Amino acid sequence: MTTHSTELLRFASGLAKALRMAGATHTLADVAQMLDEERAQIWALDNTCVITEIIELPQKRVLNFWLATGNKEEVFMLAPRICEWGKSVGCDFAMANGRRGWARTNLPDGWRPIMTTLFKEL
């Protein structure tokens, strides 16, 4: 079993909830496949897990903090290490989507809300 598989299993419940909240666009099996194919990355501390992906846009390379579960403070503790890695692989900026409450917290240096995401079932 790979390290990312172990971490994915450890945080499966919270990640499944995050996936549902994000519109159920992926399953945990999809996330595992993306990790296996190195299209996503997993970052973990004791009580927290962040899944990132790189999004290639025509003008920018974006480090997307895609999924997170656990302790908000630990997410913010992981962020500098994740962002340094993102810079090392050529990302221009990082972004994160989350519940509205995230934007109302004391965000770490450099993080700021820039837009709101709306969702509608079709």
Whether residue 1 is predicted with pLDDT greater than 60 in this model: the reply is no
- Judge whether 111 lies within some domain: no
- Judge whether 112 lies within some domain: no
Give me the number of domains the chain comprises: 1
What token pair was written down for 56? 């290639």
Question: Is 74:85 a contact under the CB 8 Å cutoff?
Answer: no
Question: Is 73:44 a contact under the CB 8 Å cutoff?
Answer: no
Please write the tens of the pLDDT for every residue from 74-119.
Answer: 988 999 999 999 999 999 999 988 776 666 666 677 777 777 777 7
Please write the tens of the pLDDT for every residue from 44-53.
Answer: 999 999 999 9
Please write the tens of the pLDDT for every residue from 10-23.
Answer: 999 999 999 998 88
pLDDT of residue 104: 65
| Residue 61 pLDDT class (50, 70, 90 cuts) | very high
Backbone angles phi, psi at 69, to 5 degrees: -145, 150
SS3 helix, strand, coil % of the chain, rounded to 5?
A: 40, 20, 40
Query: The domain containing residue 93 runs over which residues?
Result: 3-103
Q: What is the CATH number of the domain that holds 32?
A: 3.40.630.30
- Judge whether 52 lies within some domain: yes
- Judge whether 122 lies within some domain: no
- Judge whether 113 lies within some domain: no
Question: Is 49:7 a contact under the CB 8 Å cutoff?
Answer: yes
- Judge whether 92 lies within some domain: yes
pLDDT of residue 15: 95
Whether residue 27 is predicted with pLDDT greater than 80 in this model: the reply is yes
- Judge whether 16 lies within some domain: yes
- Judge whether 30 lies within some domain: yes
C-alpha closest to that of 34 among 10, 80, 66, 1: 66
Across residues 62-68, what is the average pLDDT?
94
What token pair was written down for 77? 């503790």
Q: List Cα–Cα distances, 119 to 23, 24, 38, in angstroms.
A: 8, 12, 28
